[in-house]
Amino acid sequence: MKRIQKRNPQKNLFQHFLNGIEKIGNGLPHPITLFALLALAVILLSSVCAYFGVSATGETVNPSTMELETQTVSAVSLLTREGLSYMLTSAVSNFTSFAPLGVVLVTMLGVGCAEGSGYLSALIRRAILSTPRKIIAPMLVFLGVMSNIASDVGYVVLIPIGAVLFKAYGRHPIAGLAAAFAGVSGGFSANLLIGTIDPMLAGISTEASHLVDPMYTVQATDNWFFMIVSTVLIVVIGTFVTDHIVEPRLSPPDETESGFISREMSALERNALRWANGALLAVLFLIAACCIPDNSFLRNPQTGSLTENAPLINGLIPLIAVLFLVPSVVFGCVTQKYKNEKDICSQLSENMSSMGSYIALSFFAAQFISYFSYTKLGTVLALKGAKWLGSAGLPGPVLMVLFILFSALINLVMGSASAKWTILAPVFVPMFMLLGYSPQLTQVAYRIGDSCTNLITPLMAYFSMVVVFAKKYDGASGIGTIISTMIPYCLFFLLGWSVLLIIWMLLGLPLGPGAGLLL
């Protein structure tokens, strides 16, 4: 594997900073060792905080009942009888319930076949013939932003494909991986459509607003206008950062290097691609046909919805695997890559064996994230920070910007968007309401901060997966490479999104249908 080199010897101060972050990060132990050390650090820190009685009190929203509760949260030590018992008895369940693990492995059954059979390569070569090189980066960022309506599919499908797509165009694959990651994770809150996170946050905001106005209601569509414009902003910023900051730091890919995708297609491949695409359309038609009946097994049995808590959405990962697997098998059979079912089974086994390093890394990452959640350290920090910021006595606009930065900081230590909002909403929604600002505006500010730093926190569940994907193209890469690559996206998203909100406030534009900035 080639080591990432810098193209231009004339480095500016920002490049020196990124190079320093990369060097320090990659100088750390192997990611598996690092997550094990982080887990150990949480164990020790939790015992120290619990010994000194570190705690915080505040209003939070109970995610089960969606009602406000006053609670005191204290740091919980892992070096107690209960803590040691928890670590011992939960080690397996922490690993097996680690959200990205099943998603990644099931999806890779299909995606791995698409790559191994040559189907993915053929699709990309066909796309090269009709897609201009300049629109690849904005297309990846846009698809990443839009992918959040389909759960976590963007992480396990779009990010690796982004790397392959850039490589096929003779561009650096890690730049493609970064562009897709920026859209999927950094642009998490933006979308042209209403996503699954909108009603969840709106419900929490509604309960928090009842501390001031018991009749106030926040709708799922109340941030829609702002998020539509945000989608355009994220695509523009993501494209600029990819083309002018991230990719210039990386060495030009060598077209003779193993794995480079040739642009030429044989007659056999073109024929196989036609059959495979026909099979893909047939599967899509079958799924669509199954959605039509009112009593379809893909619909919510209570409401009949195809989106809200429906098997179609909850089962999207295996459906995605099937959508990759079926045309890949057809392609492989036509090209004689797969001569019988044993060849297909061997490919499936190979898909899983290629994920060995990720599986090992996931075990330790799962323990670290679970320990951090168990000790309540993130919750204590969030409550204490919220209390301090709320009592700062600063002007409303300044406080709003500081709230965005605070949300971004808290996101580094708490991964779940809804979990953080259950803690922050009861503090900041009433506080800003008393200053004359609507809960919808406070929610938008939170979503900006919560999205931008997803890209650089190891507590983000899929961060370790991105590290493993990057190693495929640069064996010397590590956590430092990913963080230094994603910091420009993080900073530019945070700056651009905050400026957009300030302009929106100055113009007095509605955030959504009937949702204003002020009460």
How many Å apart are CA 420 and CA 82, to the nearest integer?
Answer: 26
The whole-angstrom separation of Cα 58 and Cα 382 is 10
Max CA-CA distance within the chain? 72
The per-residue DSSP string of 366-409 comes to: HHHHHHHHHHTHHHHHHHHHHHHHHTS---HHHHHHHHHHHHHH
Query: Tens of pLDDT along 71-97?
Result: 788 999 999 999 999 999 999 999 998
DSSP H or E run through 73: strand 68-74
Domain that holds residue 308: 13-507
- Residue range 479-516, pLDDT digits in tens: 889 999 999 999 999 999 999 999 999 999 999 998 99
Residue 7 lies in a domain: no
> Which of 26-30, 50-54, 391-395, 414-418 is most confident?
50-54
Residue 517 within any structural domain of the chain: no
84 assigned to some structural domain: yes
Give the residues across from 57 on adjacent strands: 72
Residue 32 lies in a domain: yes
For residue 3, is it within any domain? no
Q: Which of 138, 185, 186, 144 is nearest to 161 (CA)?
A: 144
DSSP state of 70: E
Distance CA 279, CA 123 (A): 14
79 C-beta neighbours (distance < 10 Å), count: 14
The answer to whether 50 and 75 have CB atoms below 8 angstroms apart is: yes
Neighbours of 372 (CB within 10 A): 21
With contact defined as beta carbons under 8 Å apart, do 439 and 433 qualify? yes
Query: Structurally, how many domains does the chain consist of?
Result: 1
Give the pLDDT of residue 11.
63
Sign of the Cα pseudo-torsion (366, 367, 368, 372, in order): positive
Q: Strand, helix or coil at 233?
A: helix
pLDDT greater than 90 at residue 14 = no
Does residue 41 lie within any of the structural domains? Answer: yes
519 in any annotated domain: no
CA dist., res. 344 & res. 301, Å (int) = 36
Asked if the structure places residue 227 within a domain, the reply is: yes
Nearest alpha-carbon partner for 488 in 254, 252, 250, 253 = 250
Per residue in 174-205, pLDDT (tens digit) is 999 999 999 999 888 888 988 778 888 898 89
